[in-house]
């Protein structure tokens, strides 16, 4: 068995340690419920896609294995997955998870449904709060209003509305909250402890969607395990690509 190593180096081990900062406080939020009546899928399968399309959305979940293997999903890693779903009512987060039967019935590909769902989410309202830091970029907190805020990580380029050649770092303390910061230079590494402390404060009242540090870049989403550092900061099991970014790609200023 491959046991993770906890050391002071960069790379695929738990390495760099960052000192603590303090983030904003929010109360608990709640994500989508997965319990549609059994006749929902029969109705969806019998309707034309044009009638169903406005209800398509994307949601995030942790380990999706309990849902079966036929769901329309994009796996980020075994502990974080984006699912295609149909919103059941406009006044709740309740959703029916879509599967391969739906693409067959509507004569479309998973990608067709994915883009439709993301386009629909552009109209969902969210609360955006921005917190200035001593680094080179602020930290933003997105809280969902019409739909779970965490799902907006899949359309982060539209949410951020600024160039992100080096991507952004994200944490998801609950299904309804996304915390992110855009990476701009080597000074951006100072954002990591602030982001982690904010994550901890927001996850205090409930189970986080994931405790991974998520790196978004050019539409690719990578999750990296974290754990609190004994010194009060955070240790990250960095991917080789993320380590290379911090060491070599990010400009000094």
Residue 8, pLDDT > 80, answer no
pLDDT at position 206: 77
pLDDT tens digits, one per residue of 139-186: 999 999 999 999 999 999 999 999 999 999 999 999 999 999 999 999
Widest distance between CA atoms in the chain? 58
**If you search the block for the tokens 């907006």, which residue do you land on?**
152
Sign, Cα dihedral of 144, 148, 152, 158: negative
Instruction: Give the other-Cβ count within 10 Å of 83's Cβ.
Output: 24
| pLDDT tens string 46-101 | 999 999 999 999 999 988 777 778 899 998 888 899 999 999 988 888 899 999 99
Q: How confident is the model at residue 39 (pLDDT cuts 50, 70, 90)?
A: confident
Nearest alpha carbon to residue 24 among 126, 125, 174, 129:
129
For residues 208 and 80, give the distance between their C-alpha atoms in angstroms, rounded to a whole number.
11
Residue 133 near residue 190 (C-beta atoms within 8 A): yes
Asked if 128 and 141 touch (Cβ cutoff 8 Å), the reply is yes
């Amino acid at each position: 068995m491959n046991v993770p190593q906890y050391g002071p180096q960069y790379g695929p081990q738990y390495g760099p340690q960052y000192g603590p900062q303090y983030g904003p406080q929010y109360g608990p939020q709640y994500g989508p419920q997965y319990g549609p009546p059994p006749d929902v899928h029969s109705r969806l399968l019998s309707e034309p896609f044009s009638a169903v399309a406005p209800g398509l959305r994307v949601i995030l979940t942790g380990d999706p294995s309990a849902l079966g293997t036929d769901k329309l999903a994009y796996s980020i890693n075994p502990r974080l997955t984006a699912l295609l779903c149909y919103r059941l009512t406009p006044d709740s987060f309740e959703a029916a998870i879509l599967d391969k039967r739906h693409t067959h019935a509507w004569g479309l590909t998973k990608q067709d449904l994915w883009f439709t769902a993301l386009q629909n989410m552009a109209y969902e309202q969210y609360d955006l709060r921005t917190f200035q830091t001593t680094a080179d970029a602020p930290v933003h907190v997105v809280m969902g209003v019409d739909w779970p805020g965490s799902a907006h990580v899949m359309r982060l380029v539209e949410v951020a509305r600024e160039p992100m050649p080096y991507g952004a770092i994200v944490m998801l303390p609950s299904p309804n909250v996304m915390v992110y910061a855009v990476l701009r230079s080597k000074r951006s590494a100072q954002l990591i402890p602030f982001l982690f402390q904010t994550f901890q404060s927001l996850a205090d009242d409930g189970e986080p969607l994931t405790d991974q540090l998520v790196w978004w870049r050019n539409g690719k989403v990578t999750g990296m395990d974290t754990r609190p550092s004994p010194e009060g900061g955070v240790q990250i099991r960095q991917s080789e690509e993320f380590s290379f970014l911090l060491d070599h790609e990010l400009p000094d200023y």
